[in-house]
Amino acid sequence: MPSLSDVHHPHHLEFESVRELPESHAWPTLHDHPCVSEPVPVIDLADPKAAEFMARACVSWGAFQVTGHGVAPRLLEAIDSEMRRLFALPIQQKLKAARPPDGISGYGLVPISSFFAKLMWSEGFTIAGSPLDHARKLWPHDPDQFCDVIERYDQVMKALAGRLISLMLLSLGLRHEELDWAGQTGKPLPDLAGVLRLNSYPACPDPDRAMGMAAHADSSLLTILYQSSTSGLQLLRAEDQNGPTRWVTVPPLPGALVVIVGDLFHILSNGRFRSVVHRVVVNRSRQRVSVAYFSGPPAGVTVSPIGKLVGPGRAPAYRAVTWAEYLGLKRKLFDKALATIEMTEES
């Protein structure tokens, strides 16, 4: 049973000690669409046809799994184990590094939690910039182990995000030099911004009524997701415009990473690559952890539909935004954010 303090502060449950799903965490909307199994595209980065497959996956799914990415399995194991060490800390310790209400970094609920009457069956930690201040609060005597792994992971993801973005642009028939914000010909992609989110979905006594993470689209250009060996991630998919909508599970594939198209790539590609709505369901017996690396344009740089993709005589479908502005819109408007920057042909 939850302790008295949990009942009064249900936002921060000691999940492991809860034997029965509290009403605060029971969702009525879990079975809105059927759950099916369908083969989510898997793309080997070493394949000469990788860019072509990516274009197809981004148009039709808004996501794919990537193999042959060169990220060392040891690094994935290391971050997996650091996450488990972090989430196993007592709640009082984790709350020392709590995210301030208007801040980005720290321990706590995802910003979109405020849009829902029910709480999610998960906890998480967001890191933007140096992890050192957080690590000192969590492990005052040994902050370095956590920091080392986070910093290495961040660096490797930044490089991979740059490669993926270049390939995805190439797959649209563009070179990254053709983006205003991508600098001059021959230069590598400039300093992309990145934010890490560590997620934990504890084993749940009533998984059919609990939501790990509510349905949403990411605001990033793209998100690179490491999911441990436990499934839970689902993509919302309709095969064609009139076809039925279903939840498709992304099966964990050892060593693979999941790439999710975010709203900013949707904008950049003038809607050709679709940002995909996804959610996380939980299970009765196993804790699931994941790391999302949200990759965005350099700070202060605006993203707008690429001229070549808009076509002559047409108006772009979206206006220009910076990532910071768009994150603000998402916090305020959640799933209405993208629609508010849509432009009509007249505007």
Ligand X SMILES: O=C(O)CCC(=O)C(=O)O
Active-site positions read 288
Encoding tokens for residue 169? 């642009």
The answer to whether 69 contacts ligand L37FFZMX (rule: CB under 6 A) is no
Q: 3-state DSSP call for residue 246?
A: strand
CB of 57 to ligand L37FFZMX, least distance (A): 20
CA torsion angle 271 276 277 278 (round to 10):
-170
Choose the contact partner of 304 out of Fe ion, ligand L37FFZMX, ligand X, none; CB within 5 to 8 A by kind: none
**Single-letter amino acid code for the residue at 182:** A
Among 40, 120, 225, 268, binds ligand X (CB under 6 A): 225
Q: 3-state DSSP call for residue 205?
A: coil
The answer to whether 218 contacts ligand X (rule: CB under 6 A) is yes
**Single-letter amino acid code for the residue at 252:** P
Helix 144-171 and helix 50-60: axis angle, to 10°? 90
The answer to whether 122 contacts ligand L37FFZMX (rule: CB under 6 A) is no
Give whole-number Cα distances, 303 to 104, 168, 298, 306, in Å.
Answer: 21, 15, 10, 9
CB of 295 to ligand L37FFZMX, least distance (A): 10
Q: Which is nearer to ligand X, 217 or 309 (CB)?
A: 217
Among 50, 218, 270, 303, binds ligand L37FFZMX (CB under 6 A): 218
Tell me whether strands 193-201 and 288-296 are parallel, antiparallel or unpaired: antiparallel
Q: Which is nearer to Fe ion, 27 or 293 (CB)?
A: 293
Among 2, 62, 111, 252, binds ligand L37FFZMX (CB under 6 A): 111
8-state DSSP, 119 = -
Helix 73-87 and helix 144-171: axis angle, to 10°? 130
CB of 204 to ligand X, least distance (A): 14
8-state DSSP, 318 = B
The answer to whether 105 contacts ligand X (rule: CB under 6 A) is no
Return the residue nearest ligand L37FFZMX (CB atom): 219
Q: 3-state DSSP call for residue 135?
A: helix
Binding mask 168-207 for ligand X (x = CB under 6 A): -----------------------------x-x--------
Residues within the interface to ligand L37FFZMX (CB under 6 A): 104, 110-112, 126, 195, 197, 216, 218-220, 294, 327, 330
